[in-house]
């Protein structure tokens, strides 16, 4: 997993729960990296799992809810780090439609060793999109947060529902209907 995901995650933890919590979860996780990340480095995904599990225990919030909150946070972080990627879109549905074929293709050029999820579009209309998220990492709640924030970014609103096609969350269908603006 790319370092930018770790650095942004730890920044979110600091802003929401304080520096002490950051130190505690890094210490508890016993990480090979020792919790020292650079945005362009690449680190074991298991380190992220340990950090989230530790944070969940520390603050008593379910891991899935923390991952969703991180998705909300990460959208702005990625937008700041790579404004050119988001600026080329005029609508939230247009952006979502392009994750697989444009956005993450561009990300792969920026970070050749990035491990990205796949998004298969099932249907797109003027106000809706259905797509299947697949990734061995099962970070569908992260995707949910990112999708939610995409609408906020364009001052829009949407109903976002999802259904686990595999119990472990490695394949999840999203149904997104825009309902405002």
In whole angstroms, how close is the CB of 30 to ligand HEM at the nearest point? 21
* Interface pick for ligand HEM out of 86, 132, 160, 177 (rule CB under 6 A): 86
What does the alpha-carbon distance between residue 175 and residue 153 come to, in Å, rounded to a whole number?
A: 19
Question: Which residue, 19 or 36, has its beta carbon nearer to ligand HEM?
Answer: 36
Residue nearest ligand HEM by beta-carbon distance? 135
Q: Any contact of residue 115 with ligand HEM (CB under 6 A)?
A: yes
How near is the Cβ of 45 to ligand HEM at its closest, in Å? 8
Nearest Cα to Cα of residue 42 among 8, 3, 7: 3
Between the CA of residue 87 and those of 98, 114, 140, what are the distances in Å? 13, 21, 24
Residue 73: closest CA among 13, 139, 157, 160:
13
Q: Which of 91, 79, 85, 71 is nearest to 141 (CA)?
A: 71
Question: Smallest gap, in angstroms, from Cβ of residue 85 to ligand HEM?
Answer: 4
Query: Under the criterion CB under 6 A, does residue 5 sit at the interface with ligand HEM?
Result: yes
Are the beta carbons of 168 and 138 closer than 8 angstroms? yes
Q: Which of 4, 55, 129, 158 binds ligand HEM (CB under 6 A)?
A: 4
Beta-bridge mates of residue 157: 180
Nearer to ligand HEM, 26 or 143 (CB): 143
Q: How many CA atoms lie within 13 A of 159 on its CB side?
A: 5
Binding of residue 67 to ligand HEM (CB under 6 A): no
Is 181:157 a contact under the CB 8 Å cutoff? yes
Q: Which tokens belong to 129?
A: 């999109």
Query: Does 103 participate in binding ligand HEM (rule CB under 6 A)?
Result: yes
Binding mask 120-149 for ligand HEM (x = CB under 6 A): ---------------x-x-x--xx--xx--
Binding residues for ligand HEM, rule: CB under 6 A, are 1-2, 4-5, 78, 82, 85-86, 96, 99, 103-104, 107, 111, 114-117, 135, 137, 139, 142-143, 146-147, 150
């Amino acid at each position: 997993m790319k370092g930018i995901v770790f650095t942004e995650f730890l920044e979110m933890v600091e802003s929401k729960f304080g520096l002490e919590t950051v130190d505690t979860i890094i210490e508890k996780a016993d990480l090979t990296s020792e919790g020292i990340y650079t945005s362009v480095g690449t680190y074991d995904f298991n380190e992220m799992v340990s950090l989230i599990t530790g944070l969940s225990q520390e603050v008593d919030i379910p891991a899935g809810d923390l991952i969703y909150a991180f998705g909300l946070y990460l959208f702005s972080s990625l937008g700041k780090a790579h404004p050119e990627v988001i600026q080329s879109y005029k609508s939230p549905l247009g952006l979502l439609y392009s994750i697989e074929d444009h956005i993450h293709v561009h990300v792969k050029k920026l970070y050749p060793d990035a491990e990205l999820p796949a998004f298969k579009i099932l249907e797109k209309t003027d106000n809706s999109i259905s797509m299947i998220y697949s990734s061995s990492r099962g970070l569908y709640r992260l995707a949910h947060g990112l999708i939610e924030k995409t609408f906020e970014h364009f001052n829009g609103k949407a109903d976002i529902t999802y259904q686990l096609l595999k119990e472990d969350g490695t394949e999840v269908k999203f149904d997104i209907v825009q309902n405002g603006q």
